[in-house]
Structure 1
Amino acid sequence: MHTTSLLSLAATLFTTSAFAHGNVTSPPARLPGPAMRQACGAGAVSAVQSDFTGPLENIPSNGAPDCNTFLCKGQQFADNQANVQAFSAGQVVDFEVQLPIPHEGPCNVSIVDTATNTVVGDPLIEFASYADENLAVLPANNTQFSVQMPADLGGKCTVEGECVMQWFWFGTNAQQTYEDCVDFVMV
């Protein structure tokens, strides 16, 4: 093998292993699009598209007032209207998460009011210790778990775009934050 080929292979392996930490694969999570590009800039869209599992700290916001990377990675509802899920009170929602590079820390899934970026009610599920890289095998409930939709959200989440279910994970030692948002409406 040529030296150039080995260097190229090493660069590819380093690049792919330097990225990839965790993201929600089901239900459908928000994705970047033209509205995110307008709100956050091309750099933010490129950062998310190059690594959907990357931490929020890797997403540049360029100080844009309409770009809040700590709300759905800056991904906008306007780009994700086709993926709005309809849930009812008491409904069980199954989540699937990929965790190619674990980082131990707390994690939760909560309902978030998108206008204020505040949690509505109690978390739907909480992990005091999640994705512990010191374990030989992660617990199955780190990558597949269910949440139950609350019976009362105080009249919130009845309009598309008003609320998201937010998967939020903070890798304590890595000092990195991961999140994904699922758009939904209560019916």
Structure 2
Amino acid sequence: MLFTLLQIASLAALAHGHGYISTPPMRMPGDATTAACGKSVVADIVKDKTSHVEGLPELAAKDSGYKAAQCNLWLCRGVQFADNAANVQTYKPGETVEIKIALTIPHVGSANVSIVDTKTNTIVGQPLLSWPSGYADERQFYGKTLPANQTDFKVTIPTTLDAKCATAGDCVIQWWWYGTGARQTYESCIDFTVAAA
């Protein structure tokens, strides 16, 4: 019995992943992210699409390629728009967008889906969807599935953006989740444009 518990504990320690946007395509790193954030950050994100933000600054600080002025690890984990120009989604004001989240290891906490201004790393308006508490509650997960509205949901593109998100790279739809027990932040970003209404 003790051997089995030790095996399970060691597997849990090695487990990668907690959560990320699976649909639409999320930002993933490439050459531009390597140039800004260094090879260590990129290797971690490529190895584990769900790497939490708190683990990245330590990796970046040890990498001679890290440029703090260009790599904002708290915005899309530092992943640069230039690596994702081919994945820009085009939406219309008032359009409904389906988002799917892959939650591989739940940690109870809070979460939201918001439009973020990439120049200032601030939320535009109000969150499109939010879970102030009880998001990804592992007590609900084991032996069951999480509520569907936490992993497969729809958001509506605001009609009040005007030209704010008309240029690719200016805005992202960001899924943000903070696991309170794990004390870890997970975030994924979708590049998009919205023509002025």
TM-score normalised by structure 2 residue count: 0.85
Supply the distance in 1 between the matched residues of 2:127 and 2:118 (Cα, whole angstroms). Answer: 16
What residue in structure 2 maps to residue 168 of structure 1?
176
Map 1:16-165 → 2, pairs under 5 A: 17-59=14-56, 60-62=59-61, 64-128=68-132, 129-136=134-141, 137-165=145-173
What residue in structure 1 maps to residue 192 of structure 2?
184
Supply the distance in 2 between the matched residues of 1:109 and 1:17 (Cα, whole angstroms). Answer: 29
Supply the distance in 2 between the matched residues of 1:163 and 1:65 (Cα, whole angstroms). Answer: 19
Percent pairwise identity: 47
Structure 1 segments unaligned to the other structure (5+ residues): 1-9
Does the Cα contact within 8 Å between 2:27 and 2:76 map onto a contact in 1? yes
SS of 1:46's equivalent in the other structure is helix
> Structure 2 vs 1, CA of residues 16 and 182 (structure 1 numbering), >3 Å: closer, same or farther?
farther
Supply the distance in 1 between the matched residues of 2:123 and 2:149 (Cα, whole angstroms). Answer: 23
Does the Cα contact within 8 Å between 1:24 and 1:95 map onto a contact in 2? yes
Q: Quick check: 57-66 or 106-115, which moved more? A: 57-66
Structure 2 segments unaligned to the other structure (5+ residues): 1-6
- Per the TM alignment, residue 17 of structure 1 is displaced from its structure 2 partner at its CA by 4.7
> Structure 2 vs 1, CA of residues 152 and 169 (structure 1 numbering), >3 Å: closer, same or farther?
same
Aligned-residue CA RMSD in angstroms?
1.7
Count, aligned residues: 177
- Per the TM alignment, residue 16 of structure 1 is displaced from its structure 2 partner at its CA by 8.2
